[in-house]
Amino acid sequence: MINSEKEQATIGFRKATEKDIPSILEIEKESWMSVYPNEEEGITKQEVGERFVDNTSSTEFLRDSLQDTHNLIYLIEKDGGIVGYVHLLVETDYNDIVQIYLSPKHQRKGIGSAAMEYILKTFGDSKPIRLQVARYNPAVQFYEKYGFLKTEIPQPQGENWNILPSGKVIPIVVMERPANISL
């Protein structure tokens, strides 16, 4: 348990199970709907919402990830409720933050910082840590506070999380936190 400085609440983390998939998908949808529509990029709420019409592939992805020992999915809980989750992937040469989502009503309250501290403790600092984020997502500045740097590393081939059903592509940046640094 971690006590948040901004809120007088205890934040907890626990391994997700298959029964948590509906909650995970709901938090993901809430987060996407609040962040990914972007007028400058021509990405509408409707286009983002279309991504969540059929959750079959997302459910299968989560189910498969929960069975794979290289994937670590933790729920973030506050006051007995699920407020977010993190999905981590242990790779050979680096570690990957696949997803980190908080319910929009729980953002900017210190919970994201508690989650990042948990992630950094879980991964340690022996390997670089990578993540992908929408170029226009305010979280870019949050990650920079934790030592993540924008890179020229391209999005890995075959990944398509940022392609909407309409075919529009959410522009991303790959960020990396070098190994053996401390803040």
Domain residue ranges in the chain = 2-125
Give the model's confidence band at 158: pLDDT under 50 very low, under 70 low, under 90 confident, else very high: confident
Mean pLDDT calculated for residue range 63-70: 94
Mean pLDDT calculated for residue range 42-63: 93
> Is pLDDT above 50 for 2?
no
Alpha-carbon span 57 to 55, nearest angstrom = 6
CB 46 within 8 Å of CB 38: no
Task: Give residue 135's Cα distance to chain centre.
Answer: 14
Give the pLDDT confidence score for residue 79 in this predicted structure.
Answer: 87
Q: What percent of the chain has pLDDT over 90?
A: 79
Give the pLDDT confidence score for residue 108 in this predicted structure.
Answer: 82
User: How far apart, in Å, are the Cα atoms of 81 and each of 36, 50, 77, 131, 161?
Assistant: 25, 27, 5, 26, 27
Alpha-carbon span 45 to 36, nearest angstrom = 8
Q: What is the mean pLDDT of the chain?
A: 91
> Is pLDDT above 50 for 148?
yes
Cross-strand partners of 15: 74
Alpha-carbon span 14 to 75, nearest angstrom = 5
Give the pLDDT confidence score for residue 67 in this predicted structure.
Answer: 94
Give the model's confidence band at 138: pLDDT under 50 very low, under 70 low, under 90 confident, else very high: very high
Estimate the crossing angle of helix 21-35 against helix 56-67, to 10 degrees. Answer: 120
Q: Which fold has domain 2-125?
A: Aminopeptidase (3.40.630)
> Is pLDDT above 50 for 8?
no
Q: Which residue has the higher pLDDT, 160 or 175?
A: 175
Give the pLDDT confidence score for residue 135 in this predicted structure.
Answer: 95
Mean pLDDT calculated for residue range 57-65: 93
> Is pLDDT above 50 for 40?
yes
Give the pLDDT confidence score for residue 153 in this predicted structure.
Answer: 87
Give the model's confidence band at 95: pLDDT under 50 very low, under 70 low, under 90 confident, else very high: very high
> Is pLDDT above 70 for 38?
yes
Give the model's confidence band at 74: pLDDT under 50 very low, under 70 low, under 90 confident, else very high: very high
The pTM assigned to this predicted structure is: 0.89
**Any long-range contacts for 110-114 (C-beta under 8 Å, 24+ apart)?**
110/4, 110/5, 110/6, 110/7, 110/11, 111/4, 111/7, 111/11, 111/76, 111/78, 111/83, 111/84, 112/84, 112/139, 112/142, 113/4, 113/5, 114/2, 114/4, 114/11, 114/76
